[in-house]
Structure formats: structure tokens, C-alpha cells
Amino acid sequence: MKNNVLVVLMMGACFLQEPTLCAQAGSGQATASANKDNQASIDQDVSLLRQDLRSAKKQLIAANLKLTDAEATKFWPVYDQYAAELTKLGDQKYALIKEYAQGFGTLTNEQATSLINRSLALDEKIAQLRTKYVPIVNQVLPGTKTATFFQLDRRISTLIDLQLAKEIPLVQEQN
């Protein structure tokens, strides 16, 4: 488990380095054309890293959620559906991080307030998604395994969020 968590943290750290690059790209250090090319490259890199992170997360869950063959047959399609919905919310999170990085150094009070409000609304959507899936997962797994799945999901997400928090500078640091 410790080795798997380290893999997730390493991948999360790589993913999280990209917003810094976004901020550099938007800082006026390059031409508009170079910025577009750089941003497209960053978006592609982040997409690949997020895909690797989702794969590692699934492997972590598989390694730590002890399922019978019958449970696994029922659980993994539900997990894939949940992961797809979670990915859409992750897309929104990345868009917010990108917007923050691109505006870093010039954010107004209104922009900063808008970003935090949208970030908090996104946190609520993620919690609502988990709440929606508890009874769905519980239809294919017993309660203890349902709880274990959501514990694992939250732990992995928390580790990634901690890495994000570490890498994203505070708004006040833009001055």
C-alpha cells in the first residue's frame, strides 16, 4: 500500500507542476503564438498525466478493496461510471486551476472571489457525486466494502488535493 500511495503522490506532484508552467506561459515571457503552442502542449501533458493518475487510482483501489470474483464483476462497471463522472468534475477543477494560473499576478478582488466560490461549488458537486454513488455501490457490494471503497477514494483524493495545495501559490503572493 505504501508503495502504491507513493506512486499516486509522485504522479500527483507531476500533474501539479503544470499549473506553474501555465502561469509562466501567461506571464508575457513569450509571444501569443508561442503561448498557444505551449498551452496546447501543457494541456496534452496534463491530460496524459491525469489519465495515468486515474489508472494508478484504479490499481490502488483494486489492490486494497478485497472483492470476490462475483463482486468484482458487478463493481468495476459501477466504478467506471463513477470515475467518468468524477473525471468531468476534474476537468472543471483543471479549468479553474488554469484560469487561476493565467490570471496570477493580475487577479482582481472580484476574480479571486469568483474563483473561490466556483472552487467551493465544485467541492460540493464532488461530495454530491459521492453521496449519489453510495447507494449504487451498496447495491453491488456489502456495506463494509462500500465504506472501504469510499474511504480509499477519499484518501487518494485527499493526497492529490494536498499536493495541489502545496503547488498552487496563495492569491496574496501575486503582489
Q: What is the pLDDT of residue 98?
A: 92
CB 71 within 8 A of CB 149: no
Q: What is the pLDDT of residue 79?
A: 98
CB 158 within 8 A of CB 74: no
Q: What is the pLDDT of residue 31?
A: 52
The segment with the largest mean pLDDT, out of 26-35, 39-48, 158-167, is: 158-167
Mean pLDDT lowest for which of 43-47, 96-100, 121-125, 157-161? 43-47
Residue 116 has pLDDT above 90, yes or no: yes
CB 56 within 8 A of CB 7: yes
Q: What is the pLDDT of residue 35?
A: 65
